[in-house]
Amino acid sequence: MKRNAPQAAGPTTATEGDETLDDTFEALADPDCRAILGAADTAMTTSELAEACDIALSTAYRKVERLSETPLLVEGVRFDPDGDHAAEYTRGATDATIELGEGGVTLTVDDAAADPVSVAFDTTGVSAD
């Protein structure tokens, strides 16, 4: 599964010809992906997301993979004292803007409304939950 590095604070912009633009719109068109984004307001594993969204685990894995290729979902690591670390996911965006201009469509995904203290300490995408 392709993994993006944790997203730094600030907007991500995708324009015509950028694969991220198509990937993001395709993910937003998928009802399961939207349900996962709705549930991912706190860090959750794929299993937890599948349960929260009432979708099959295999489907959740595919949708999380799809969302991980966009700026909409960010991967972190949940450390377990027993060594069973797990990937966990949170929404990577709090706001999105679509602009229509001469150059085509521009999508800006912003996480500016995220808690500044969390952003300052979450430089590695690691959580102790």
Which residue ranges form the domains of the chain, and what is each CATH number?
Answer: 17-92 (1.10.10.10)
| Better-scored residue on pLDDT, 101 or 121 | 101
**Lateral strand order in the sheet of 12-15:** 12-15, 104-110, 95-101
> What pLDDT score was predicted for residue 85?
86
| Better-scored residue on pLDDT, 49 or 97 | 49
pTM of the model: 0.73
Q: Which of 118, 20, 117 is nearest to 73 (CA)?
A: 20
> What pLDDT score was predicted for residue 120?
39
CA torsion, points 57, 71, 107, 61, in degrees to nearest 10?
Answer: -10
Summarize pLDDT for 4-15 with one digit per residue, the tens: 434 445 677 777
Q: Please give, one letter per residue, the 3-state secondary structure of 50-61.
A: HHHHCCCHHHHH
Summarize pLDDT for 26-37 with one digit per residue, the tens: 999 999 999 999
